[in-house]
Amino acid sequence: MKRVLIFAALGASLAACTWGIKLDSGGEKVRVAWDGNVGGCKDEGKVTVSVLDRVGPVDRNGLKVSDELEIMARNEAGGMGADTIRPLGEPHDGAQSWGAYTCGSIVRVPVRREGEMKPPSDAVETYPVKDH
């Protein structure tokens, strides 16, 4: 019984660890394009990162695993000279692929073209007021 408690305590403490994954100075300059909008950006390649998602029989917290994958991807992309990443899929077995891009300081605003992305019928449009 004592052995079971020791293993349970050890597993719980390991599952709570942050594993020492920290954002480095290059990763701090990399943003995550969660909306997938990287139009006008230069494709720098693909980054695949992985962490332990399981310690023995204990599954690690999925949110912590996802956070660590994002931090690692930002660090890797910063080392490549990229300033933006976007996930290429969901994490699977502790691994995830990310696209790395150089977007510069441009502000990406969705452009509505003829026949695309019509606003909902209850949407409100605004117009600039002219001083007379």
Who wins on pLDDT, 43 or 20?
43
- CA–CA gap between residue 76 and residue 24 (Å, rounded): 10
Please state, in angstroms and as integers, the Cα–Cα distance from residue 93 to each residue in 44, 60, 78, 130, following that order.
Answer: 25, 11, 24, 57
Whether 24 has a pLDDT exceeding 70, the answer reads yes
Q: What is the pLDDT of residue 35?
A: 92
Question: Confidence band (pLDDT; 50, 70, 90) for 114?
Answer: low
Domain ranges of the chain: 24-102
Q: Tens of pLDDT along 31-43?
A: 999 998 999 999 9
Residues in CB range of 126: below 8 A, 6 or more apart = none
Q: Angle 83-63-11 (CA atoms, 0-180°, nearest 5)?
A: 130
Query: Of the CATH numbers 3.30.70, 3.30.450, 2.60.120, 3.30.1660, which one belongs to the domain with range 24-102?
Result: 3.30.1660
pTM of the predicted protein model: 0.65
